[in-house]
Amino acid sequence: MLEQTFKVIDKVGMPHVMSFMSEQLREFNTNELEWIKLLPLNKKALLHGACHFPFESAKGTRSGYRIRASVNVDHAPPFRFEHWGRVPSTTNKRGWVSGEQTFFFDDLEQCAVHTLSHECFHFLAATGQTALQNIEANANWWADQWLKSFQSRQD
């Protein structure tokens, strides 16, 4: 288990979600991760996520990777979200192609876990900690795996 040095910021009030995310990241090198943040979203969208890559500011200070997810606290569950996924294919040697997929979440916690996990994948792929290609279909597949783990702990 590696030492974690990143900040965990929860502005939605889901400490068990943020604890789960920290646990999932324990097996990875997070030295370049500055923070992981969960925020409320008050636009029409259900969710929004971002993985910001390191940059140097005009003042010469360097940031680390920054993972952010925002979830709409005003929407009522269940939730549906359309995005890129691994669509089964008998003609592709991988057994899947990247295509539109519908993701379902029973509650806002599941939505938050999936969105944060998706962005964590982008961080892990960018830092060479997974061999999977850094594409949206793989990020959502990764998020599905972490969400299943989260759900199994809730049962």
Q: What is the pLDDT along the chain (155 residues), one digit of tens a residue?
A: 556 789 999 999 999 999 999 999 999 999 999 999 999 987 788 788 889 888 877 777 778 999 999 999 887 788 888 878 777 678 878 876 677 888 888 999 999 999 999 999 999 999 999 999 999 999 999 999 999 999 998 76
Residue 62, beta-bridge partner list: 56
pLDDT of 116? 97
- DSSP, res 146: H
Residue partners of 141: CB distance under 8 A and separation at least 6: 85, 86
pLDDT of 155? 67
The SS3 assignment for 73 reads: coil
Query: For residues 87 and 137, what is the distance between their CA atoms, to the nearest angstrom?
Result: 9
